[in-house]
Amino acid sequence: MSKIKILGVDHVVLRTTRLDSMLAFYCEFLGCPVERELSPDLGLVQLRAGNALIDIVPVDSELGRMGGKPPVQDGRNMDHVCLLIESLPEEELLRLLDSAGIKHSDYAERYGAEGFGRSIYLDDPEGNVVELKFTLAPTV
């Protein structure tokens, strides 16, 4: 039985070739205000969506190029989904992932709906990128 407890979605990252249209849709139509905007070269606009974030990343930016081709039938539109999990010691999560044979990234400090926190990336069986982010600073 898993010791990982998901508390909700922290953020979803969408890749786009139409930044202005995406921002008009999410900001003007759906009412998501811009919370943070990083440099256009890096390419990240973070929108507040209730208690979560929707990140919009232009595919021709530094972050967008990491996702491969522009969003078409053979390219990814969603970069990753971030799940907010209940805190547990980092080493315990690593043991759980390793024992299940799940490849993962190293931990890093990243910004999300609840501010900065420690997180780790992994792939689901279909190759979708999933980020697991702690609610509070975990013990090491």
Q: What DSSP line would sit under 33-52, residue for residue? A: -EEEE--TTT--EEEEETTE
pTM of the model: 0.74
End-to-end CA distance of the chain: 22
The sheet carrying 34-37 orders its strands as 34-37, 45-49, 52-58, 6-16, 78-85, 129-134, 115-123, 108-112
**Given this model, what pLDDT does residue 114 score?**
87
Query: CA 8, 101, 127: angle at the middle one, nearest 5?
Result: 60
Can you say whether the dihedral through the CA atoms of 111, 112, 117, 123 is positive or negative? Answer: negative
Here the tokens at position 27 are: 């900001």
94-131 CB burial, b ≥16 within 10 A, e <16: eeebeeeeeeeeebeebbbbbeebbbbbbeeeeeebeb
Instruction: Return the pLDDT at 139.
Output: 46
pLDDT tens-digit map of 57-79: 998 888 888 877 776 666 667 78
Model confidence at 137: pLDDT above 60:
no
Domain annotation for the chain: domains and CATH numbers: 6-134 (3.10.180.10)
pLDDT digits (tens, 9 = 90+) for 100-134: 888 999 999 999 988 899 999 988 766 778 899 98
